[in-house]
Each structure stands twice: as structure tokens, then as C-alpha cells.
Amino acid sequence: MDSMVWQVALTLGFLLGCAILAGGFAGVARIPKVTSYLLVGVLLGPSVLDWVNHDHVQRLEPLTKLAIALVLFNLGCNFPLTRARRILRRVLRLSLGEQGATLILVGVGVLAFGASWQAAILLAALALATAPATTILVLKEAESEGPVTDYANALVALNNLTSILLFELLFLAIHFVEGKLSVSASVQLRQLLQDVLGSVALGVAGGVVISLSYTLVATARRLVLLFAVITLLLAVCQLYSMPYLLAFLAMGVTVANSSDQTRQVLGELDRLTGLLSVVFFVVHGAELQLAALAQAGLVGMAYIVFRLAGKYFGTRFAARAVHEDATVRTWLGATLVAQAGAAIALSAIAAQRDPELGRHIQTIILGTVVVFELIGPILIRQAVIRAGEVPLAQAIHHSSTGPMDQLRTVVNRMLLAFGFNPWERRTADNVSVKEIMRKNIVAVPQSAPFADVIAAIEHSRENTYPVIGNAGELIGVIRYPELSSVLFDPALGSLVRAADVATVADCMLHPDDAVDRASEMFESTQDDVIPVTTPETPYRLMGVVRRRDVLRILIRSQSGTSPAGH
């Protein structure tokens, strides 16, 4: 037993280590981290390399369910009633259009391609479900804000609620028509109602406990309180077979409307949610079965095509009917494509209740979620970017530190720890700006379109970019921190020029200035670089001086210690 526990721990550590590397790749490749985590799981799982033991993955299931629970709690916390009432009528109309179109298209479509009528109506119900963890975490990673994001959050909750209830009702109806009911329909309906109301009641109770207790507990123990309530609630739901998705959604909504500490609660859980979400996606990726996609056959292909069509055209026509703007009509449907947890769980229930029908449905769902989970995060990210709801910092990849810079920092720190100062021969007294300035730089022409500005930011590790005129004169600088929180709107790319986002260069150096002067300027600015220009007007750009280069020289006066990060 002890050996198995440590083997599972080894598998978990290996998956998380690979996920860290995949997260770095995601930034460079401009794909959501969720997609990179899933791809790592697929690569290491039985579908490709088969380096991850399936039994070990199964033993991690409690952690993956805890991750989904935290995500749904987070989602519920974003719906105070004042906000929900404001968008409720529009959301219900959008939901009606999207769910109606998806039900009809999937049901009729798979029936036309060979599915039985029983399988067709159950697959139509499952098609409504949208993967909450995938959708919410991609939106959170993108830091998106706006109508598409708000509607997507609301529709994810409604889609899963409707899918669960409709699936149970349709399954009951099928068994009633076929005469397979072991107990009366009224008894089964009563049990379903008890499960739903019970899970909501548990969620409300858990939310009230958190709201009442959070401020009464010492700050250092608040995470313990939250973790205790969440794990207890999840355990009760699992033991009594109640839908925990509804319970945690209800708990989040309760906290949002009964506590003034909601933001602090979410902040407390953020790191735990982030860790468990990585676990969820790498484990989920390892469970995806590429071979199941082929086994799903023609019916599986029809399910994919008609579900995509239902989500897209359903939201588009509904958005037009309620007079939403073109951005919502065009991009909302793409945020609802991801599918996994709820559909997989319901298909497993179907396989237990009716092996012949259920296993056929389970094969189709397990095969098609491979497609929906891999393309879903990419479509969600692109949708909110194209809708102009994502800050520039999240829409592009920009890093201030590279691997070689970090390696150099670590080596220098180790040298200092052993009493050797790698910068001792260079001091500010004998170095001028022209000796340390970087001449091979990429300056941004003032007439450059915004797309070129973005390219300069993505290919630079600095946070300040000189803007020059036609004769090479310094016009100003573009500061990344001033742009990073601005919503990235692709539609403005051809209208905005570099000169429009440039600001006056408050600091300038000349080649013969001493490094001491550069140091004084860096103390008064957050810029990573200071332009070096000719001493006479017009001030033509000659290069830049980097903050890190100045600090390396000044390290001699720091009593043998290097400033943090350099």
C-alpha cells in the first residue's frame, strides 16, 4: 500500500513537472495553458507514449473533482443577484436559442447518420453540456471582461444544469416507454428532485457557513476553513450520489450574496485552485483516448459537426433576436464548445443503467471530447481576444526575463555566496554611457501600425521602446506597463500608429555621460531602458542603456551583494 501511494506521488510529480514546461511553451505558441496541459497528458498517456500508469491516474480522481468544485464555486461567486438580475432576461433568451438549436441539430443529425432514437435523444441532451473547468479557467487566464465573457459564464452554468436534468428525465422516459422501469416513474422523479434540491440546499448551507465564519477565523486559518467546508461538501455529494456541480455553484452564489468578503475568499483559494487545475488538466489529458475517436465512427463525426453548428448558430440567431451587438453574435458561440466532465460522467451513468445503450453513448462521448477539449480552449481564447475583451498583456507573449538571464543571475548569486564578486573590476568611476549602451536595437518608426508595435513588444525583453521619426530623431517612448492593462482590440490595429501610443521620453542620456548619471535616472523611473541620443538637436537615437547593465557595474558599491534579480 505504501509503495502504491509513493508511485502515485511520483506520477503526479512527473505530470506537474511536464506541465510547467508545457505552460512555458503555451506562452510562446500563443495557445491557452489549458490546451498545453491537455496535450502533455495526451502525450504521456496511453494514447501516445504510455508513460503514465492508468491506475495511478484513477487514484488522482478526488483531486480532479476537487478542482472542478473550486472552479464552479469561483463561477458562482461571480453572480451576485444585482448583477444576475441585470442580464438574466437576455441570458435566458440566449440560452433558449443555443440549447434549442443544439438539441434539434444533434438529435436529428445523429439519427440521420445511424444512431437509434434512444441514443439520439440522449446524445442531444449531453450535447448541451459545456466543460465548466475548461471554459472558466481559459477566461480567467485571459483576464477577459465584457459581454461575451459575462454571457459565457452564465451560459456554462445553465447548460450544465439543463443537461443534467434533461438527461435524467429523458433516460427515465426511455425506460418508461420500453417497460424497463424497476420502480414507478413517480418514485424516480421524486428521487431526482430530492437529489437536485438536496445538492442545492447543501451548497447554500456551505455558503452560509463560509460567510458567517470567514471573518471570525484568524487570517492564517482561513484557508483551512475554506478547504474543510469544500472537502466535506464534496464528500457528502459523492457519498449520496448528488450532483456536486449544482452544490458548488449554489455555494458560490450564496457567498456572493451573503458576504462582503467574496473577493478575499477567492483570493485565498486562488493558489489552491491554480494548482489543482493543472492537476485536473494533465490528468484529464492522460485519460483522453485518441483511439475512441475512431471507435465513435460516423455517428461521432455527426455529433461533433452538429454540436458545433448548434452552439454557433443557436447563439448567433438568439443574439440577433435580442438585439445584441455584432461582437456577441459572432463570438459567443465559440466560448461554449469545450465539453468534458459532465458529459463523461453522465455517459458513465448511462453505461451502468443500460449497458447496451449506455456503452454506445459512452464510446461516442469519450471519442468526441478529444476534439472538443483540444479545440475548445483555443476557440475560447480567440473569441474573447477578437471580441476585444482581453488586456494586451494576456493577448500577446511578452517576458522580461529569458532562460539565459536567469541562468546568469543564479551563477552570479552562487559566486557572490562564495566570496567572489564578478563585477569588481568595473566601477561607475571609470565607465561612460557609450561603453555600455546597446547599439543593435529595434526602434519603432512613428508611422508603424499597431501590429508592428505589438511585434516589437513580443520580441523584446524590455518594457520601454524608443519611437523615432523619419530622420532617426527620438519622438518619444512606448511603455509596455501603460499598454498591458488596455483591452486589446484587433479592429483598431490598422487605425492606431506608434506615435498615437508614444509618450514623451522623460529621461535621455548622451554617450559621454557617466554611468552615475544613468543610475540617478533609473532611480526616478520604472523604465527598463533609457534612450541614448546625440548631444545636439535634433536628438537622434544612438542606442539604449539597460537598467541591468548599470546595476552590474554599480554592484561594486553594494558591499558584495547583488540587487535582487540581477
Give DSSP secondary structure letters for 473-533. BEEEEEEHHHHHTSEE-GGGTTT-BHHHH-B-----B-TTSBHHHHHHHHHT---SEEEEE
**CA angle in degrees (0–180, nearest 5) for 394-400-401:** 125
**Torsion sign over Cα 53, 59, 63, 67:** positive
Q: Tell me how far apart the alpha carbons of residues 174 and 184 are, in angstroms, rounded to a whole number.
A: 13
Domain boundary among 395, 421, 448: 395
Give SS3 for 537: coil
pLDDT value for 243? 86
CATH number of the structural domain spanning residue 509: 3.10.580.10
For residue 342, give the nearest of 496, 128, 506, 139 by alpha carbon. 128
pLDDT value for 459? 80
Same-domain pairing of 380 and 412: no
Residue 371 located in a structural domain: yes
Question: For 402-408, what is the mean pLDDT?
Answer: 69
The DSSP 8-state label assigned to residue 221 in this structure reads G
Is it the case that residue 216 has pLDDT exceeding 80? yes
pLDDT value for 422? 58
What's the domain count of the chain?
2
Residue 246 located in a structural domain: yes
Same-domain pairing of 82 and 175: yes
Residue 565 located in a structural domain: no
- Give per-residue pLDDT as tens, 38-74: 999 999 988 888 898 888 888 998 999 999 999 999 9
- Give per-residue pLDDT as tens, 238-249: 998 888 988 999
pLDDT band at 530 (very low <50, low <70, confident <90, very high): very high
- Give per-residue pLDDT as tens, 318-354: 999 999 999 999 999 999 999 987 888 889 888 888 8
Residue 566 located in a structural domain: no
Same-domain pairing of 335 and 473: no
CATH number of the structural domain spanning residue 370: 1.20.1530.20
Bridge partners (DSSP) listed for residue 478: 465
User: Crossing angle, helix 244-258 and helix 147-178, to 10 degrees?
Assistant: 140
Q: What value does the mean pLDDT of the chain take?
A: 88
The DSSP 8-state label assigned to residue 470 in this structure reads T
Domain boundary among 358, 376, 395: 395
Cα torsion 363, 277, 388, 325 to 10°: value is 50
Same-domain pairing of 379 and 422: no
Sort strands 390-391 and 487-488 into parallel, antiparallel or unpaired.
Answer: antiparallel
Domain that holds residue 226: 2-395
Per 3-state DSSP, the chain is made up of helix, strand and coil in percentages (nearest 5) of 70, 5, 25
Is it the case that residue 135 has pLDDT exceeding 70? yes
**Torsion sign over Cα 479, 481, 486, 489:** positive
Same-domain pairing of 291 and 416: no
Same-domain pairing of 383 and 429: no
Q: Tell me how far apart the alpha carbons of residues 371 and 381 are, in angstroms, rounded to a whole number.
A: 16
pLDDT band at 563 (very low <50, low <70, confident <90, very high): very low
pLDDT value for 467? 94
Q: How far apart are the first and last CA of the chain?
A: 47
- Give per-residue pLDDT as tens, 179-204: 887 777 788 888 888 999 999 999 99
Same-domain pairing of 191 and 72: yes
pLDDT value for 565? 39
Q: Tell me how far apart the alpha carbons of residues 344 and 340 are, in angstroms, rounded to a whole number.
A: 6
Same-domain pairing of 264 and 170: yes
pLDDT value for 562? 40
Bridge partners (DSSP) listed for residue 206: none
Q: Tell me how far apart the alpha carbons of residues 110 and 123 are, in angstroms, rounded to a whole number.
A: 8
Residue 471 located in a structural domain: yes
Is it the case that residue 136 has pLDDT exceeding 50? yes
pLDDT band at 560 (very low <50, low <70, confident <90, very high): very low
Amino acid letter for position 76: G
Same-domain pairing of 415 and 381: no
Is residue 39 within 8 A of residue 22, CB to CB? The reply is: yes
Q: What is the 3-state secondary structure (H, E, C) of 408-451?
A: HHHHHHHHHHCCCCCCCCCCHHHCEHHHHCECCCCCEECCCEHH
Same-domain pairing of 241 and 97: yes
Same-domain pairing of 258 and 304: yes
Amino acid letter for position 171: F
Same-domain pairing of 10 and 112: yes
Is residue 389 within 8 A of residue 146, CB to CB? The reply is: yes
